[in-house]
């Protein structure tokens, strides 16, 4: 191989390596929602918003992107449904905010999750029916417990993969551990979550 051709080949290889490295630094973030709330009847739209850093009412963060999904009867939110994909998300900390909305844009339920993106990431956001109408932080409660999960105010980092941020949360032991609920006849354990039309709980 002649020298000029060899140099061009080396330059091409270097460019390909650089592109691969850039791809690793800008992964894709997928947001999935797990919920026992009925789509198409109890909510009509799912709005997903992505913020740089930690976003809350007292300290708003920079808005990055959003995605909207129309909810339809029969969609399988109980097993987890993909509602958004954010490509080119640099490594770092983000807040994912998911809202269930009525057809007239009235808010049904909102949940924020603080996550760290280190590569291609899938985050599962849990919106539980017994959080509808629950105000967090609770009166007299800590400001850091700003999100609702299973009727309890929790840290926005609290999720099944991160139980260390779920201080004081009452994890159930299995499908039949229904806590205050009267009936467990339709309870199903799906990926550590007990889901029914009436409730959903994280399962250890």
pTM: 0.78
Its domain, for residue 168, covers 27-202
- Would 6 be classed as within a structural domain? no
Specify the pLDDT at position 134. 92
What single DSSP character describes residue 70?
Answer: E
What single DSSP character describes residue 44?
Answer: S
- Would 131 be classed as within a structural domain? yes
- Would 11 be classed as within a structural domain? no
Segments of the chain with pLDDT less than 70 = 1-25, 170-204
- Would 39 be classed as within a structural domain? yes
- Would 167 be classed as within a structural domain? yes
The two structure tokens encoding residue 149: 């999960």
Specify the pLDDT at position 77. 93
The count of domains in the chain is: 1
Phi, psi of 80 (to 5 degrees): 105, 120
Specify the pLDDT at position 182. 40
Q: How far apart are CA 166 and CA 180, in angstroms?
A: 20
The two structure tokens encoding residue 133: 């109408």
- What is the chain's Cα-based Rg? 21
Specify the pLDDT at position 151. 82
Q: How far apart are CA 190 and CA 126, in angstroms?
A: 12
- Would 130 be classed as within a structural domain? yes
- Would 18 be classed as within a structural domain? no
CA torsion through residues 146, 147, 149, 154, sign: negative
Specify the pLDDT at position 184. 52
What's the burial of 94, exposed, middle or buried (CB within 10 Å: 0-12/13-18/19+)?
A: buried
- Would 7 be classed as within a structural domain? no
Report yes or no: 32 and 123 within 8 Å, Cβ to Cβ: yes
């Amino acid at each position: 191989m002649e020298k000029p051709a060899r140099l061009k080949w080396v330059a091409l290889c270097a460019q390909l390596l650089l592109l691969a490295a850039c791809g690793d630094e800008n992964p894709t973030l997928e947001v999935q929602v797990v919920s026992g709330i009925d789509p198409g009847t109890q909510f009509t739209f799912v709005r997903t918003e992505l913020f740089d850093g930690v976003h809350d009412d007292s300290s708003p963060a920079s808005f990055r992107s959003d995605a909207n999904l129309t909810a339809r009867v029969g969609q399988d939110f109980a097993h987890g449904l993909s509602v958004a994909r954010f490509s080119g998300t640099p490594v770092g900390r983000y807040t994912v905010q998911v809202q269930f909305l009525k057809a007239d844009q009235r808010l049904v339920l909102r949940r924020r999750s603080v996550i760290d993106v280190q590569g291609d990431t899938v985050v599962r956001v849990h919106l539980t029916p017994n959080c509808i109408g629950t105000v967090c932080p609770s009166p007299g409660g800590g400001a850091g417990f700003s999100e609702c999960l299973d009727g309890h105010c929790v840290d926005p980092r609290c999720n099944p993969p991160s139980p260390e941020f779920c201080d004081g949360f009452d994890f159930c032991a299995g499908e039949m551990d229904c806590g205050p609920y009267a009936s467990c006849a339709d309870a199903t354990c799906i990926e550590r979550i007990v889901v029914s039309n009436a409730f959903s709980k994280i399962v250890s």
